[in-house]
Amino acid sequence: MKINGNAIRPGMVIEHQNRLWRAVKISHTQPGKGGAYLQVELKDIRDGTKLNERFRSSESVERARLEQKTYQYLYADGDSYTFMNNETYDQITLSAESLGHDQVSFLKDGMAVTIELFEETPLGIQLPDSVILEVVEADPVVKRQTASSSYKPAVLENGMRIMVPPHIEAGTRVVVNTAEGTYMERAKD
C-alpha cells in the first residue's frame, strides 16, 4: 500500500531499497529554503542496521502489509521464546534479539501477545498495554516525605526497577505500562 512520505509514524514497517524497515524515530523539518521533509530513523528488521532517510510529502513509500495473529506465550529456553497460536496450535520460536530485551522482561506464562507476520515470517511481538507484576523489594518510606508527590525505587518480580508511590510495599501487585516501563496504579485484585 503506497503512502505519502510524511505519513510515516514510529513503529510503522515500510519497504525501502528492497528491504523491510521499521520507523524508530521521526522528526518534521521545515528549512527556511526549500520544502518541508520528514527525517526518519529506520531500523532493518532482519539484521538491525540503522538508516536515516529524508522523505518529502511528494514522495510515496510502500507500507508493508503485516498480518497480526494472537499467540500465547508458552516458555523460554535460553534465548529462545516459544509462542502458540490458539486456533491452529502451531508454535513459533523467536530469539530474544528479535523480540527486544525490553519486551522479554514483561513476558509471563500464558500471556496473550500479538505477533506481526510478513509473508508468514514473524517480525516481532506487541505486548498488552499493561501487565500486573508483584513488587518484591521496596525502600521504606522516609517520614515527612509524603507531603509532596515523591516516588521511591522498587524491584518487580521480573527484576525490573521502577519508581512507585510511597504507599507501595513489598508483596503489593501493581499495574505497569509495558511501553514505558512505568508504574500506573495498584492492581485491583
116 and 90: one domain? yes
Please name every residue paired with 20 in a beta bridge, in sequence order, or none if there are none: 15
Share of the chain above pLDDT 70, in %: 96
Of 29, 48, 63, which marks where a domain is finished?
63
Label residue 58 exposed, middle or buried (CB < 10 Å: 0-12, 13-18, 19+).
Answer: exposed
Residues 92 and 119 in one domain: yes
Give the CATH number for residue 40.
2.30.30.30
Total domains, the chain: 3
Do 71 and 59 have their domain in common? no
pTM value is 0.71
**Statement to judge: residues 59 and 71 lie in one domain:** no
Q: Which residues form the domain of 117?
A: 67-126
Domain CATH for 118: 2.40.50.140
Percent of the chain residues topping a pLDDT of 90:
29
Tell me what the mean pLDDT of segment 72-86 comes to.
91
